[in-house]
Chains A and B, each alone.
Chain A
Amino acid sequence: GAGVSQSPSNKVTEKGKDVELRCDPISGHTALYWYRQSLGQGLEFLIYFQGNSAPDKSGLPSDRFSAERTGGSVSTLTIQRTQQEDSAVYLCASSSSSGILDTQYFGPGTRLTVL
């Protein structure tokens, strides 16, 4: 594909519902990242996948958040029992490896609104 894609673009849900956000990285990229961007704030790291290694989940804010990456490609971020404070833009990025200077290419994000 041409770039990182994310779906849906926007998601409105009710408090307490579960949501799934999808990320399709650039083909061949082995590293995948999820970030959260709350209103008026910078990006906050959530989770990182690199190849077949165990993911770095240290940024997940609570056990309601989980993510998986199937087949080393597509990733899904799941938020269970959503809360209003989960409202944010969720950005996914991928890079060709985990090298520091390997540019992280970002998708357009999913704007999540929890009512």
Chain B
Amino acid sequence: AQTVTQSQPEMSVQEAETVTLSCTYDTSENNYYLFWYKQPPSRQMILVIRQEAYKQQNATENRFSVNFQKAAKSFSLKISDSQLGDTAMYFCAFIQTSGSRLTFGEGTQLTVNP
């Protein structure tokens, strides 16, 4: 079974600064996909970024980028130039190529302070 671990229940950052959220996972699969989702107080889960395990290049979406270390089974999210609207719960998620269900970590509550 796959597991996803987020070891930082809460983090805070000053507006305009950079913050990194950690995620590790455990799987025996070689082909899979990883995601970061954002859940603001509205409860709506929003996809932030995704990474295919077979790609060595780290995914980037504007201010959001990942550091994917396949051997270490690590998948951290870096948010640059943090904005107040980035305040939310962030979830790391995993899906194997042969499956359809997402396996989520416990989440990290990020607060961006003015």
Which residues of A are interface residues toward B (Cβ below 8 A)? 31, 33, 35, 40-45, 48, 50, 56, 59, 89, 91, 93, 98, 100-101, 103-104, 106-109, 111
Interface contact A108-B44, CB-CB below 8 Å: yes
Q: Which residues on the A side are within 8 Å of B62 (C-beta)?
A: none
Judge whether B102 and A43 touch: CB under 8 Å. yes
Known: A40-B106, A42-B107, A43-B91. A48 touches B43 (CB 8 A): no
B1-41 residues at the A interface, CB under 8 angstroms: 4, 6, 33
Interface pair B106/A103, CB less than 8 Å apart: no
B105 with A42: CB separation less than 8 A? yes
Point out the residue from A33, A35, A100, A106 that lies within 8 Å of B44, measured CB to CB: A106
Q: How far is the CA of A40 from the CA of B107 in the complex (A)?
A: 8
5 A–B contacts from the bound complex (CB under 8 Å): A40-B106, A42-B91, A45-B102, A48-B100, A109-B43
